[in-house]
Amino acid sequence: MNVKIRYFASMRDRMGRAEETVSVDGDAVTVADLWKKVSSGQDLPGSTLIAVNMEYTNGAATVKNGDEVAFFPPVTGG
């Protein structure tokens, strides 16, 4: 299956790219699995905001062919 991944703000800087399409095998692939694939095996940082198809979710969410996953750094304000 193919999944489009987008990185925003400091996540884009960290990854060195704004987006990519990743090909993965299997039907029960989670967002955390995708992160490990694109980050050379690193665990998903706990404070990362995640959206699948423009709806916020978490690392345990499963993805399917054609989904778009977005990773955002934590938002701070004051």
Q: Which CATH superfamily is domain 2-72 in?
A: Beta-grasp domain (3.10.20.30)
Q: Are 41 and 33 in contact (CB under 8 A)?
A: no
Report the predicted TM-score, pTM, of the whole model to 2 decimal places: 0.90
Share of residues in the chain with pLDDT > 90 (%): 71
Instruction: Give the pLDDT of residue 69.
Output: 98
pLDDT band at 77 (very low <50, low <70, confident <90, very high): low
pLDDT, tens digit, 9 for 90 and up, residues 42-59? 888 888 999 999 999 999
In the chain, where are the structural domains located? 2-72
Identity of residue 41: G
**What does the chain look like in DSSP terms, one character per residue?**
-EEEEEE-THHHHHHTSSEEEEE--SS-EEHHHHHHHHTTTPPPPTT-EEEETTEEE-TT-EE-TT-EEEEEPPP---
Instruction: Give the pLDDT of residue 18.
Output: 97
